[in-house]
Amino acid sequence: MLIFNFTQYGINDLKRIYKKAITENIKLYGPCKNFKKLLVEVKYSYGEGTSGRNVRGTAWITIRIPRSKPNKKHIVIIFDHELMHVRGYRHEDETLKKCLTFEQIKWIHNYKLRKRIGRPPGQKHKTKRKTKK
């Protein structure tokens, strides 16, 4: 799995959460060859909600999370929903409606989602220019 993280949250924390969600998905529905080449793009949402996007059958998932206080449960449920699209399911399919529920993801409390230390993403490094006298 390759993660492109455009947020202030730590990539290692995100990776742990997503790997656990993939493991739970595989337990319920079996292995999927597209999971090996999964590409996850994590961005900020336009509002305060969590959303996801996937073109059905491809291994590219975009997850949008809020800037302030993202809900880890919502992140996992949206990610699992998008994993089902990676498997090829459509919104009309009954199996897609049986994604992970809040009761099935009680394990999320053991995972942290911390802000990373350092420069925020997208902020350029400021350098002092030498001026000629």
pLDDT at 130: 59
pLDDT at 126: 52
For 60, phi then psi, to 5°, come to -110, 120
In angstroms, the CA 97 to CA 92 distance is 8
Q: Give pLDDT tens digits along the chain (133 positions).
A: 899 999 999 889 999 999 999 999 999 889 988 898 999 999 999 888 899 998 877 899 999 999 888 889 989 999 999 998 898 888 887 776 677 777 888 888 888 988 877 655 555 545 555 556 5
What is the 8-class DSSP label of residue 125?
A: P
Closest CA to 67 of 4, 8, 5, 117: 8
Residue range 2-109, CATH number: 3.30.2010.10
Burial class (CB in 10 A: 0-12, 13-18, 19+), 70: buried
Q: Which residues contact 33 (CB under 8 A, 6 or more apart)?
A: none
pLDDT at 21: 92
pLDDT at 63: 94
Going by their DSSP bridges, the two strands 51-54 and 2-5 should be labelled as unpaired
Spans of all domains in the chain:
2-109
